Amino acid sequence: MKLLTHKWVSVVLLWLFVIAVWQIAAGIYGPDIIPGPVATWNGAVELLEDGSLLSYIGISFYRVFVGWVLGSLIAIPLGLIIGRVAIVRVFAEPFLNFIRFIPPIAFITLFLVWFGIGEQSKIALIMYATLFIVMMNTLTGVLAVEEDKVRAARSLGASEWQILIYVVIPATVPYMFTGIRLAMGTSYMAIIGAEMIAANEGLGYLIWNSRLFFRTDWIFVGLICLGLIGFFTDRLVGLLGKKLLYRYGVVSSEPIRR
């Protein structure tokens, strides 16, 4: 038990178990339905040999990264404005509550029209996926700033602008960070949609295009890569947050459980 709860041991055991179940399932259902670990590995090797898998990972990561960063950069000021200005909030909230049920993929055609078939439209789709979640979390954070902090600052002589810069923004940092981290998850989720738009490469392209040729092994390769880079970048962001934002109350690098 002591040994089992030790993190690395258990993680390795878990993966061995998952792989075993997977292999058995593949044996039962056959490779077209469930490509087993070996078949998937072979598929991966095939893609690795000509370097395409690595370049796909690089390209998808780049798109996710840029879209996510830009989306967050836009979302944070918007969230701050919506949170601080009651009149804007009254207008924006019903709209946000309506639009949040519309998936990024629904915007493919429109984004194509607005941003063309190049990188822009793909990145815009990731931005869309990021935007609302960061905005909503920033907004929540702004509304959660303790009134006492604002009052204290005000009676210490801070102007409204100083209150925004020196109180509201730092107090909202943990919420922004949570939003940004959650948004990373949705960004990875949106990559398939983004790479449906005139893409010739990328993990989303791999997953989507492999459907046409019924290469379930490649679909598996794509899914696993997506999961893995998602997992590791999330950890990285978590650690960075803990290191850099400790002051602001970002104290845990554990994955957000929700």
Partner 1 sequence: GCGKQQPSEAAAGKLSLTIADTVSNPTFQVALTEGIFEKYNIDAKIATFATPAEGINALFINQVNAAYGADFPVLNAVSKGEYSIIASTGTGLSEQDAANWKLFVRDEVQSAADLKGRKVSNFRGTFVSYLWDKYLQQHGLTSDDVEIIGQGGFDESYVALKSGEIDAVWVTGATLIDKFASLPGVHQLTDMSQTEVRTGGEIIIPNALLEENAEGVKNFLRAIEEASQFIQENPERVADIMFEKVKQPRDMTLADLENVRWSLQFSEQAYETMNKQKDYMVAEGIIQQDFAVKDKLRLEALKEVLPERVTYEP
Partner 2 sequence: MSLPAHVIEQQTITIAGLNKSYSTKQKGELHYIIQDVDLSIKGGEFFVLLGPSGCGKSTLLNMIAGFVAKTSGQLQVGGAEVRKPGQDRAVVFQQADASLFPWLNVRENVEFGLKMQKFAKARRKEISDHFIELVGLKGHETKLPRELSGGMKQRVQLARVLANDSHILLMDEPFGALDAMTRRSMQKELSQIWRQTKKTVIFVTHDIQEALILGQRIGIMTRGPSSNITHIYEVPFAYPRDPSSAPFLALEKQIQGHFEHEYSI
Residues that bind its own copies (CB under 8 A): 1, 4-5, 7, 10-11, 13-14, 17-18, 29, 32-34, 86-87, 90-91, 93-95, 97-103, 105-106, 108-110, 113-114, 133, 136-137, 139-140, 143, 179, 182, 185, 188-193, 207, 210-211, 214, 216, 219, 222-223, 226-231, 234, 255, 257-258
Indicate which of partner 2, partner 1, its own copies, none lies near residue 100 (CB less than 5 to 8 Å, by partner kind): its own copies
Sign of CA dihedral 198, 200, 206, 212: positive
Of 195 and 234, which has the nearer Cβ to partner 1? 195
Residue 238's CB: how many other CB atoms inside 10 A? Answer: 19
Q: Binders of partner 1 among 160-189, rule CB under 8 A?
A: none
If you search the block for the tokens 């990875």, which residue do you land on?
Answer: 188
- 30: three-class secondary structure by DSSP: coil
Indicate which of its own copies, partner 1, partner 2, none lies near residue 197 (CB less than 5 to 8 Å, by partner kind): partner 1
Indicate which of partner 1, its own copies, partner 2, none lies near residue 149 (CB less than 5 to 8 Å, by partner kind): partner 2
Indicate which of partner 2, partner 1, its own copies, none lies near residue 255 (CB less than 5 to 8 Å, by partner kind): its own copies
Q: How far is Cα 117 from Cα 66, in angstroms, rounded to an integer?
A: 16
Indicate which of partner 1, its own copies, partner 2, none lies near residue 8 (CB less than 5 to 8 Å, by partner kind): none
Burial 142-174 (b: 16+ CB within 10 A, else e): beebeeeebeebeeeebeeeebbeebbbebbbb
Q: Vertex 193, ends 89 and 181: CA angle to 5°?
A: 50
